[in-house]
Amino acid sequence: MELVLELRGLVKEFPGQRAVDGVSLSLARGGFYSLLGPSGCGKTTTLRMIGGFENPDAGEVVLAGNVVNGLKPYQRDVSTVFQSYALFPHLTALRNVEFGLRERGLKDCTARAMRALEMVRLADKRDRRPSELSGGEKQRVALARSLVLEPKLLLLDEPLAALDPKLRREMRAELKAMQRKTGITFLLVTHDQEEALSLSDYVAVMNKGRIEQFGTPEEVYLRPATKFVAGFLGTMNWFGKTGVRPESTRLSRTGEGLAAKVESSLFLGNCINVNVVLEDGSRVVAAMGLEHNNFHEGEAVWLHWLPSDELHFQ
């Protein structure tokens, strides 16, 4: 397995807080990886250290076998897609994509930039300025601008956060397709668990400057290593130290299980979310099939689940 990136005990401190607290991570070539965590967990700072915009206080950034600590952004073979896209407003779409090629003194800049624009289906918008492009188009130009350089590693900082939900889902599919087509290693930073789970081959879940779990989307969702991971990825019903996913939580009128009272029943299109209150006052949600759209507010119900669906934490 060829490693594109290796982080060894990365630490970054800002006045008053330790933003990144000993992050170690290995990325194999050609994979789609995510750093997932709540805002302030250190994921963006980690990305900025890989890109060369911040210097780590301790630890090493190893790119394709070479320690790149201290190298400037323009000396590293990585490229970043910024959250704000950071397209140059005075240049057309084509000139934006050409920019990096020209700075590197490469040949056939215009032809290569055109091919990159064609890949993101924006060849006809080549002469538009960023202000004349829609959000999704800007996003695709930013992507083309980085991909045209064929970097070893593409860093994406919350690239879909500024798009509306429908467009976000479309761009998600496009990102994944682009990664598979180019074979370039992608490292995506996001706070959106759905985005991380659906796109990634591997997800690193971060909290308070540390990686809590690194694994495939199935692993981190179905077998969360810590209580934080379990709670951050999807919804979790807590019964003391035992967690049960809403889709594994069943309701019945048989009188067996944990007694509860229905608070509300929400129709979500693809499922029904029934919110219930236990006798001790804690709230639990059960995600059920559409055929269960018959629970009434105030109705007495009983909760049960399979022992194999229980998740235990210390």
Partner 1 sequence: MKQRGLAVYAFCALAFLHLPLLILVAFSFNANRFTVWEGFSLRWYQAALSDPQLAAGLLNSLIIAGIAGVLSTIIGTLAAYGMWRRAAPVLSGTLYLSLVTPEIVTGVSLLALFQGVFRFLHLHLGLWTVIIAHVAFSIAYVTLVLSARLRGYDRSLEEAALDLGASPWHAFTRVTLPVLAPAIAAAGLLALVVSFDDYVITSLVAGVDSETLPMVIYAMARRGVSPVVNAVSALIVVGFSVIILISQRLQNQ
Residues that bind partner 1 (CB under 8 A): 51-53, 72-74, 78-80, 82-84, 86-90, 99-100, 103-104, 145-146, 149
Judged by beta carbon, residue 21 or residue 157, the one nearer partner 1 is 157
Q: Please, what is the minimum distance in Å from the beta carbon of residue 103 to partner 1? A: 4
Distance between CA atoms of 135 and 160, rounded to whole angstroms?
A: 10
Question: Which strands, in side-by-side order, build the sheet including 58-63?
Answer: 17-28, 3-14, 58-63, 66-67
Residues in a beta bridge with 7: 25, 61
Q: Please, what is the minimum distance in Å from the beta carbon of residue 157 to partner 1? A: 9
Match 């299109």 to its residue by tokens. 269
Match 């889709």 to its residue by tokens. 247
Judged by beta carbon, residue 37 or residue 52, the one nearer partner 1 is 52
Distance between CA atoms of 1 and 34, rounded to whole angstroms?
A: 19
- CB under 8 Å to 14, separation ≥6 — which residues? none
Judged by beta carbon, residue 52 or residue 209, the one nearer partner 1 is 52
The answer to whether 68 and 103 have CB atoms below 8 angstroms apart is no
Judged by beta carbon, residue 146 or residue 249, the one nearer partner 1 is 146
Judged by beta carbon, residue 142 or residue 287, the one nearer partner 1 is 142
DSSP E strands, the chain: 3-14, 17-28, 32-36, 58-63, 66-67, 78-81, 153-157, 185-190, 202-207, 210-215, 237-239, 242-244, 250-252, 258-267, 272-278, 283-288, 300-304, 311-312
Judged by beta carbon, residue 44 or residue 213, the one nearer partner 1 is 44
Q: Please, what is the minimum distance in Å from the beta carbon of residue 304 to partner 1? A: 52
Q: Please, what is the minimum distance in Å from the beta carbon of residue 172 to partner 1? A: 22
Residues in a beta bridge with 25: 7
Q: Please, what is the minimum distance in Å from the beta carbon of residue 112 to partner 1? A: 13
Distance between CA atoms of 107 and 91, rounded to whole angstroms?
A: 20
Tokens for 71? 């190298």
Q: Please, what is the minimum distance in Å from the beta carbon of residue 86 to partner 1? A: 4
Q: Please, what is the minimum distance in Å from the beta carbon of residue 311 to partner 1? A: 40
Judged by beta carbon, residue 100 or residue 136, the one nearer partner 1 is 100
Judged by beta carbon, residue 82 or residue 238, the one nearer partner 1 is 82
**303 class by beta-carbon count within 10 Å (0-12 exposed, 13-18 middle, 19+ buried):** buried
Distance between CA atoms of 5 and 310, rounded to whole angstroms?
A: 36
Q: Please, what is the minimum distance in Å from the beta carbon of residue 229 to partner 1? A: 30
